[in-house]
Amino acid sequence: MRVRGFTGVGLRVQGGCQGIHSGGSGPASAPPPGPHDPKRCAATWLSIAWPGNPRVRGLFTSRAGGVSMGAYAAQGRPDQAGSPAIGGMNLGTHVGDDALAVVVNRERLRVALSGAQPVFLQQVHGVDLADLDALTTQKEPVADAAMTTRPGVAATVLVADCLPVLFAAPGGRGVAAVHAGWRGLASGVLEVTLHALCVRSGCTPDQVQAVLGPAIGPQAFEVGDEVRAAFVHAQPRTASAFRPGLPDKWWADIWQLARIRLQLAGMAPDLIAGGGLCTYGNPQRFYSYRRQRVTGRQAACVWLDTD
């Protein structure tokens, strides 16, 4: 099933699954025990097809499918007025959610990854890249991007309005995940990651595939003059990603900003897919920090299959 808003020649983002599934490629698995009723949880995620790259797997989670409640719960069904909240799939340990609920949610994510191990980061809105092949500790690396060439290791970032970007080198030679808020995007986190992936995988930027995940959309992402200047002064082409709003304010298109910067870095336009799913405007589906402040985090994961 194609998901509206995700476009791009050569890449297809497919609809999520109901229940706790192994990413849509295997039988359903029983959910692990949790502090809340698992019958009120329905896991949903967006799985990614990578044409010509069968070893690569990727997904974006939504806010549904876990056991978190309160501000971190998934909302009731939009087609059923007054329907109760169901367990939320918050994966962030730093947002005030019940720690046990996050443990259960992260275990459900591992099931969705078909056995791959997600590696989480301590994200700081910077440009540092964690090399997961060289990781020697279980402590979460301080970085906003992660890269690996090892099968069964899922490069993972957490978001709730910021842009997640997943990369895949040709032939399944490596993958990377990036957390790109406007600061990291303007500072070059995409370019740093793309370059490192190409060096490690022995390819050129125009051979790399990328998918832009759910993020705050251009109808909701209001920024000041300083944000626009941070992009436009360095790369004038990015001016097209901003439209004027109130005095000294602009509406920014974070997907367009990413596309422009990736193309300037040498990527082929038809190998950049995604964009269009707004976290702010879809409260039933996604967490949004700008909309709610106290809220959860969804994940973006990419990994190489062990088969």
Domain of residue 281, CATH code: 3.60.140.10
C-alpha to C-alpha distance for 167 and 200, rounded to whole angstroms: 13
- Taking Cα atoms as reference points, which of 155, 166, 152, 115 lies closest to residue 131? 155
**146 with 121: CB under 8 angstroms?**
yes
Question: What backbone torsions phi and psi does residue 273 show, to the nearest 5 degrees?
Answer: -115, 170
Please tell me the pTM assigned to this model: 0.86
Using CA atoms, how far apart are residues 174 and 154, in angstroms rounded to an integer? 11
Contacts of 36 (CB under 8 A, 6+ apart): 67, 69, 87, 101
Examine residue 197 and state whether it is found in any structural domain, yes or no.
Answer: yes
Cα 267 from Cα 203, distance rounded (Å)? 11
- By DSSP bridging, strand 56-61 and strand 45-49 are antiparallel
Residue range of the domain that includes 278:
12-304
Query: According to the model, what pLDDT value does residue 84 have?
Result: 65
User: Which DSSP category does 47 fall into?
Assistant: E
User: What whole-number distance in Å separates Cα of residue 19 and Cα of residue 206?
Assistant: 37
- The total domain count for the chain is 1
Helix (H) or strand (E) holding 111: helix 99-112
| Torsion sign over Cα 89, 122, 193, 150 | negative
SS3 147: strand
Residue 4, domain member (yes or no): no
Tokens 């719960």: give the residue: 73
Q: With a cut of 70, list the residues of the chain below it in pLDDT.
A: 1-43, 76-85
Answer whether residue 6 is part of any domain.
Answer: no
Q: How many CA atoms lie within 13 A of 18 on its CB side?
A: 2
pLDDT of residue 83: 59
186 located within any domain: yes
pLDDT digits (tens, 9 = 90+) for 9-67: 344 444 443 332 223 332 223 333 333 333 333 457 899 989 999 999 999 999 999 99
pLDDT digits (tens, 9 = 90+) for 230-262: 999 999 999 999 999 999 999 999 999 999 999
Sheet of 222-224: strands edge to edge? 222-224, 249-252, 242-244
DSSP state of 138: S
Tell the residue number behind the tokens 């030679």, with chain if given: 173
186-200 b/e (C-beta count within 10 Å ≥ 16 → b): bbebbbbbbebbbeb
pLDDT of residue 24: 31
Per-residue confidence (pLDDT) for residue 27, from 0 to 100: 25
* Sign of CA pseudo-dihedral 77, 80, 86, 92: positive
> What pLDDT score does 82 carry?
56
